[in-house]
Chains A and B, each alone.
Chain A
């Protein structure tokens, strides 16, 4: 991705980011805000009040038609038949050998209509994969990335801020509904997020995105960038594709066996079944540094294993992350040592999530 900034795509909120003093960086072909006031401040705003993220770089694929459910049941690891109209479900997209192509949320918009949200870096590949397998089903696969800006409003006060601007009750967690928000019609409001806090994600017609952003900021939501989004999701132990998930690892190793329903016969289900039966050699687990230092992606774990995500936890004040470790060393409390650029740093395996408000 050596694209110059002049070839990067911009979201409908680009002007708002510039005006807010954001630091813009290239991310998966997009020019995205990594921070505004500072990662720590934005992170804590989401934990304590409400933050608003522009995640319009994420893609959308609509699958519709009498065979839409059957197609998605074949593509997605979870049991799509269990998603009610207005429901949402997390799943993986796998290759035949179980390697993970993407992790995604799918919303059932109607009996035969689904919208799947893709990671920006995988959108083109996902779309091609959907279309390739769509030929076997009575279903239409449509690229909807141009049709939505996407805002995530997250934090303990997020729902109330959005509710005050909406024309009807917001959908519950893992539910979705069409509402008017801040004068923008046809906003798909989703009770999902990536921060470990309550909140919603808004799929907004691009022409209305700036008005919705402005209204939510005026109501008190603090602009938050991809930097805080990453530290928040690490504390919550949510996977990031490209870090903690890849084609080289399977769902069971990644600790995502819970969203794989092999009996549905999805692509990769046989490989997942074998991995589940055999037990994985390595597993992804959260860890925390017990002394000084911050482990980063790619740092090896002494004796085997590797850090796939690492940061300072703004909520906890020490280094945390996710690492693949040999299965016999994945029990919570197991002491480990991480090679941080040549220096051994003491850490221990933790339970997930790394941070939660509950004591």
Chain B
């Protein structure tokens, strides 16, 4: 994905994760900035469905050719779905980080946590 983008309907975590909150379920992934820093993603190691994740803690690993990085949970809850397509096509994380590159869906244990995340403008400001 050549151009930086930060959709305004998403919430952002300072560790470069996004969340699309819909009721008590959030879809999560890493931001354009994160995938750009990482370079070509070659492996995504997902959590198990049913696993508990905690805001600000790592829940998965994403690897480029040269490096491995933790993926940080932007919100707390239980993993209800993982993007299995990333197993054979991890490059979707680079090509479409907010669409096909989504990583997990989390059933939120405390939806009000989302109020503490940044909006797109604040997140973009934090990158400068």
Using a CB–CB cutoff of 8 Å, the interface residues on chain A facing chain B are 23, 34-35, 38-40, 43, 227, 230-231, 292-294, 296, 311-312, 314, 341, 343
Contact = CB atoms under 8 A, between A and B. Distances in A.
Nearest to B87: A292
For the residues of B in contact with A, the DSSP-based class is: strand
A35 B61 CA distance: 22
Interface stretch (B13-21, B25-33, B37-45, B97-105): B37-45
Interface string B45-77: 100000000000000010111101000000000
B64 to A, nearest CB: 7
Nearest to A314: B65
A40 B90 CA distance: 14
A311 B63 CA distance: 10
Nearest to B64: A39
Given A227-B66, A296-B68, A312 B39 contact: no
A117 B71 CA distance: 41
Contacts of A311: 65-66
Given A38-B40, A39-B40, A230 B61 contact: no
Interface residues of B, number: 12
B63 A294 contact: yes
A227 B42 CA distance: 14
Contacts of B43: 292-294, 312
Q: 6 closest pairs, A vs B, by CB? A: A39-B65, A312-B42, A38-B40, A227-B66, A312-B65, A40-B40
A40 B39 CA distance: 10
Contacts of B65: 39-40, 43, 227, 231, 311-312, 314
Contacts of A40: 40, 42, 65
Interface centre among B45, B63, B65 (most CB of A within 10 A): B65
Nearest to A231: B65
B60 to A, nearest CB: 12
A39 B67 CA distance: 12
Contact of A39 (B45, B61, B66, B87): B66
Nearest to A39: B65
Contacts of B66: 34, 39, 227, 230-231, 311
Contacts of A294: 42-43, 63, 68
Given A34-B66, A38-B40, A292-B87, 16 more contacts: A23-B39, A38-B39, A39-B64, A39-B66, A40-B42, A40-B65, A230-B66, A292-B43, A292-B45, A293-B43, A294-B63, A296-B68, A312-B65, A314-B65, A341-B61, A341-B68
